Each structure stands twice: as C-alpha cells, then as structure tokens.
Amino acid sequence: MVERMTDEAVSYTERSEGYDSEAEAVGWHGPAVVFGLAFPFTNPGETVLDIGIGTGLGSVQFHKAGLRVFGMDISSDMLEACRKKGFAARLVRHDLTAVPYPFDDASCDHTVSTGVFRFFANLDTVFAEVRWILADGGTFVFITGDRGPDEPAEVMVGPEHIGTNAPVTMYRHTPEQVTGWLINNGFRPIDSVGFSVWMDSRRSAKFPIRAYLAQKTGPE
C-alpha cells in the first residue's frame, strides 16, 4: 500500500502562487536533468504523463519537443496554474495514494515525475500504477531523494527552507531500493544521475536527489 503523504506535504503542494519564481531562485534544474535522460527515447507526437505535474515545470520541455502532455496532481491550485500556461492536453486532479490512477492501461508512451516522490517512504505501488499506464517499451523518468545505505531515510525539513507553516518530512531512497522497486514492477533500469539541489533562495542548505531512467519491459 502507498503510504499517504503528510498533511504538511499536501499543504506544500498548494502553494501555487510564486512556485515558478521560487524554483528559479533556488536554481532548480531537475526538469532539465530528467528531460536530458529521456530525450533520446522520445519522438514528436508521443504522449507523456507528468505525475505530480504541479505548475508544469517537469514536462514543459517535453511539450517543446513535440510530445503531448498529460498531467496529474492533488492540488487544484497547481493544476490551474499549469492550465493557464496552455501546453497540457489533459489535466486530472488525483491523489497519488489512491489507486488505480485515472488513466487507461498502456495509454501513455512515457511518464515523468520531478517533484513528489521524495514525499513517499515507499514507491512500490506508485511504480506498479505507472507500469499499467505505460505502453510496452515506454520510459519512466523521475527524481527522488537520494542516500547511502547507512544514512537515514527520513529528513525533517524546516519551514525556513521550503516556506511552509510547519516542518515537512521528506524521504530519501538508496539506489538499491529504487532499482528493486523498478525490477519488481517490470522495469529495466537504464541510467541514473545523482546531484544536490538548494532548499531555499538563500542557498543555505542542500538536499541530495537522484534522477532515474527506466523502461517498461514487454509481456512476460
């Protein structure tokens, strides 16, 4: 079962006003990294589902490359901010902890997620849902918190770093954990890139993350 996001995390996703400017201020380059990983596997006219699309920062480059963008997010405010940009073909409000996801089996060529997986302690069920939605051979590119085997999984992030009213728990996963979830759900891991991101515009603290690229295998 997917572990539900904390109330603080849900509240964080509701901050649509100024989200893009905050991302620019902290030098958020996660979307560029995932697009770079996925680009060699994409073609114009294909579809990409952005899981936790927010304001669309994670998938706008796919749109510019000629792909049709679908998006799913728990926040109606974020979805409205994304809708105003005019590039998403379909946007759906949905809680990622609720399965099944509201997309048909094998209905998307690619999936991307850049901003929400670090709020989940366990990603196994999310990956299972992605597998159903992806067509055979489709790619799955995403970002989550990164850690070594001896480092803690939970990290309490203070309001001064992310602008919420209370501390937020974020989760970091080892590459071995993520690879296990991928293989368990029928994905072939292809590549990963580890890097750090600033947590605030003052650039006073960093958070380690890793971008992964995997491909759905064919029928067993």
Give me the residue label for tokens 């366990």: 122
Give 190's contacts (C-beta < 8 A, 6+ positions apart).
139, 213, 214, 215
The Cα 111–Cα 12 span in angstroms is 23
Q: Are the CB atoms for 134 and 111 separated by under 8 Å?
A: yes
Angle at CA 186, nearest 5°, toward 185 and 190?
110
Q: Which fold has domain 7-216?
A: Rossmann fold (3.40.50)
Does the structure show a pLDDT above 70 at 182?
yes
pLDDT digits (tens, 9 = 90+) for 15-42: 555 777 777 777 689 999 999 999 999 9
What pLDDT band is residue 179 in, cutting at 50, 70 and 90? very high
Per-residue burial over 67-85, b if 16 or more Cβ lie within 10 Å, else e, is bbbbbbbbbebbbebbeee
In 3D, which of 171, 126, 169, 120 has the Cα closest to residue 147? 171
Single pTM value for the model: 0.88
pLDDT given at position 164: 55
What is the distance of C-alpha 68 from the center of its chain?
A: 17
pLDDT given at position 26: 75
What are the extents of the domains in the chain?
7-216
Does the structure show a pLDDT above 70 at 2?
no
